[in-house]
Structure 1
Amino acid sequence: MKHFLFYFGLFSIFTAGAQTTKPSDPLAHTFSIVARDANTGEMAVAVQSHWFSVGTAVSWGEAGVGVVATQSFTNKSFGIRGLEMLKQGKSPQQAMDLLLRDDDGRDFRQVAILDTKGRTAVHTGKNCIIYAGHSNGENFSVQANMMLNDQVVPAMEKAWKANNNLPLAERMVQVLLAAQNAGGDIRGKQSAALLVVAPEATDEPWNDRLLDLRVDDSENPVKELNRLLKVFRAYEHMNQGDLFVEKNEMKKAMVQYNAAMKMFPENLEMQFWTAITLANDKQLIRAAEMLKNIYEKDKNWRELTRRLPKVGLLNVSEMELMELIK
């Protein structure tokens, strides 16, 4: 409530002719980027703020449509409505114009829209708290308000252009890190989010959101976001390994599992399923050695091993099972 009263007082007096209606929408003063990978067509939005759970308010996206970042005094409807307008065939700028046309709070808004063609539109209202600004071009738009200094937006643009060798998600994180290193939010850090959607919609919309990571409350949210992204990549290897197991391509499965374990050598989950795959491939001695080490750290994994044959996830004889759980 104190935050709200502070901002109400801050904006209660304006110069002559300025807009006088301060919106009652949630506050999300922040820095963000909307972008598209020119090679894959994937689209993403990433954000950090000194505000709780910023990802639930700022970042919006839909496969085959586009992405939206709505911040400062956040009008959440801009996310849904902006995407719907893109879906109807409107350009990002046409969508932006329509969103702001009847919005009494437009002078307090900061909004960026990007579509599947990499076209962008961005608006920074004249009553956004300084330092506020944006920079956009083909396939990207970076925007920030309430920053410590005027170097944040240039640093974000530079990081976007300098990291074009990275996958889109990792590239977005580098932009957030650059913004923070340049000064970031004048209030500090609290939450961050990263959303990546597919270039085209499919008949399986539950798979069209390729990545959705949120850090709602942290002393170093971008650092934690980066850690989660690495965990996500490790589990991508695990999932790929599982697909190879289904095809009975055990050597390929092991390559993927080993890649995952290399990224997170202390993760018992990854070690366990790798051992189970070895057992199913009749490499029982190696499997037993791995499982023994796992059991020493957490005995519950032994009980889980015992349960797997019943559901067909561990294909061994009763005698072999006894070797694996001893």
Structure 2
Amino acid sequence: MRFNTRSFIKPFLTPGILLGVLFSQSISQSIPVHTYSIVAFDQETGELGVAVQSHWFSVGFLVPWAKAGVGAVATQSFVKVDYGPHGLKLMEEGMSADAALQKLVSEDEGEAVRQVAMIDVKGNVAAHTGSKCIYAAGHQIGKNYSVQANLMENETVWPAMAKAFENTEGDLADKMMATLDAAEAEGGDIRGKQSAA
């Protein structure tokens, strides 16, 4: 008699995937993702970008969200993943980044522990750092970008990120990498770095 591995595993596969999805949703609602990130737009090329670095493993499935021709979102601290897809949907429907973020924050009972930034394809930028985000936390908005960070070594991290973005030559990717490098050089996440996206 031949043992069929596929038929043996199949009954466990779908429930396993479902549990994985539910587990990732529960993690995202209860565990802080201490992070620094940038959302940005290049007016000349029309490129949008979001970049993030964190001590939290697999940060790429929680924090960065982007859609060509629409916008980009970074959602961090005590992450509510919904800010990503819902923010993009609202911007795609014609809301500015600021209007979309205000709407989502107003509907979120946990907004005090959220940190979110959004940018739309017109370069409109919005950011929110909740009053209960873990120190040091803050954001800085500039022309066509926002930088944000929480659980940092000090309050100079996000200003250093902004300065790096504004003063770096090159394409959007070069400027965003320089921004993350500047955060790390300034002290970065007090627990170190383990993940980037």
Q: TM-score, normalised by structure 1?
A: 0.51
**Aligned partner of 1:174 among 159, 170, 178:** 178
Instruction: Measure the CA separation in 2 of the matches of 1:106 and 1:80.
Output: 17
Establish whether residue 118 from structure 1 lines up as the match of residue 120 from structure 2.
no
- The corresponding residue for 1:46 is 51
Partner of 2:163: 158
Q: How much does 1:43 deviate?
A: 0.4
Distance 2:175 2:35 in 1: 19
Per-residue deviation at 1:122? 0.2
Determine if the alignment matches structure 1 residue 99 to structure 2 residue 133: no
Counterpart residue identity of residue 154, structure 1 = P
Distance, in Å, in 1 between the alignment partners of 2:170 and 2:179 is: 12
Once residues 101 and 151 of structure 1 are traced to their aligned partners in structure 2, the CA distance between those partners, rounded to angstroms, is 29
> Which protein has the bigger strand share?
2
Q: Hey, what's the Cα distance between the residues in 1 that align with 2:29 and 2:148? A: 22
Deviations 1:77-103 (A, max 9, x none): 110000000011011111011111121
Where relative contact order (Cα < 8 A, 6+ residues apart) is larger, the structure is: 2
1:133 paired with 2:133, answer: no
Shift of 1:137: 2.1
Aligned residues: 170
- CA deviations 1:284-311 (Å, max 9, x no partner) are xxxxxxxxxxxxxxxxxxxxxxxxxxxx
Shift of 1:24: 3.5
Matched, 1:191 2:183: no
Measured in 1, the distance between the counterparts of 2:143 and 2:70 equals 16
Gaps of 5+ in 1: 1-22, 194-326
1:24 aligns with 2:29: yes
Whether the 8 Å contact between 2:142 and 2:162 is mirrored in structure 1 is: no
The answer to whether residue 75 in structure 2 is matched with residue 64 in structure 1 is: no
Amino acid at match of 2:191: R
Aligned partners of 1:188, 1:137: CA distance in 2, in Å?
26
Distance (whole Å) between structure 2 residues aligned to residue 160 and residue 114 of structure 1 = 15
Please list the CA deviations of residues 47-92 of structure 1 after superposition, one character each: whole Å capped at 9, or x if unmatched.
0000101111000000110000000011111100000000110111
Q: CA RMSD in A?
A: 1.1
Shift in Å, 1:133? 0.5
- Give identity over the alignment, percent: 53
Deviation (angstroms), 1:170: 1.6
2: CA distance between counterparts of 1:93 and 1:179?
A: 25
Q: Give yes or no for the alignment of 1:55 onto 2:60.
A: yes
Whether 1:35 aligns to 2:40 is yes
Specify which structure has the higher proportion of helix. Answer: 1
Code of the residue aligned with 1:179 in structure 2: it is A
Q: CA deviation at 1:148?
A: 0.4
User: Does the aligned pair in 1 maintain the 2:29–2:80 contact within 8 Å?
Assistant: no
